Amino acid sequence: MTYQPDVTKFFALALDPIHVGTGGMRLGRVDMSIVREPGTHLPKIPGTSLSGAARTYAAMQEEGKFPGCAGQGGHCGDPHCPICVTFGFAGTQNGSFQGLAQFSDARLLFFPVHSLAGPVWVTCPEALKDLEITTNGPADEQVHVASGVKQSGRLNLGWLMLEVASNNFAPQVTHVPQEILNRSVLVSNKMFGHIVNDNLEVRTSVSIDPQTGAAAEGALFTYEALPRASVLYFEVIVSHPKFYQINGQQPLSSNGGKQKVIQTIQKGLAFFETLGVGGMNTRGMGRLRVLNLSAGGAQ
């Protein structure tokens, strides 16, 4: 029998606009753009951003037991440290370790757009395919709408006007709020990319001079963000500690094993809702509610 690692799908709802930047300035039409997938140009949250934030927040809840383990360096590398075992470590006396949890990128599943019929959430066959939901998309100039979108004839998505080809779109996606599913709109893969990129939030802000606390001269800048109420999903793959050795010991053998890894991930993800992910968290940005966390870390 081949060993299969556990794969958990997580669904998340943006409570604020979310900006996970490329780190580059002045790319394209905004000063600070967000990370996109290479082929589709759809915005995403990189798995490294998710695991980095989860690591920090999980370490905060260990109440100072593993003070150096929260960040990028200074890890303890102890085989019984839930942070280092779960998220990995480097440069310790026990060498380096990849970590038992691997985070995928978070991809867009439902994207909120204004329409004459009120707010709707747009999705496409390619986004749903990753959830093993097979659906034939409409033609590029058409949409399939869910029952809560009371519109016939034509429907605008932002500035774009498309033809309502059917009104029986009913995606079965667990953990996503029913009010979002009821107001969902299926578009073609091609149009999904256009609609998302044309309806990202673009905000203007001002740089603060750290010396004076005042606005730096000429320091207006624009940045883009995923809008509030975007629905994303990502996967976390957890490998079993019994297949690994750190300094001759099975990781977490005396304090919870694999279940401890899952609990540590869930504890970290639980704080996304209050402390956020990505940049500019002090500006009311970045809070992300993971919709299917389970108490006690069970799956």
Residues that bind Zn ion (CB under 5 A): 66, 69, 76, 81, 83-84
Q: Helices 257-270 and 47-60: crossing angle, nearest 10°?
A: 100
- Residue 260 Cβ vs Zn ion, minimum distance, rounded to whole Å: 13
Q: Based on C-alpha coordinates, what's the Rg of the chain? A: 21
* Beta carbon nearer to Zn ion, 66 or 97: 66
* Euclidean distance between CA atoms 96 and 89, whole angstroms: 5
Residue linked to tokens 């029913």:
178
* Beta carbon nearer to Zn ion, 94 or 230: 94
* Euclidean distance between CA atoms 270 and 268, whole angstroms: 5
- Residue 75 Cβ vs Zn ion, minimum distance, rounded to whole Å: 5
* Beta carbon nearer to Zn ion, 69 or 155: 69
* Beta carbon nearer to Zn ion, 36 or 80: 80
Least Cα distance to 264 among 46, 30, 81 occurs for 81
- Residue 64 Cβ vs Zn ion, minimum distance, rounded to whole Å: 12
Cβ atoms < 10 Å from Cβ of 26: 11
Cβ atoms < 10 Å from Cβ of 44: 21
What are 157's two structure tokens? 């998505």
* Beta carbon nearer to Zn ion, 66 or 169: 66
Secondary structure letter of residue 287 according to DSSP? -
- Residue 172 Cβ vs Zn ion, minimum distance, rounded to whole Å: 41
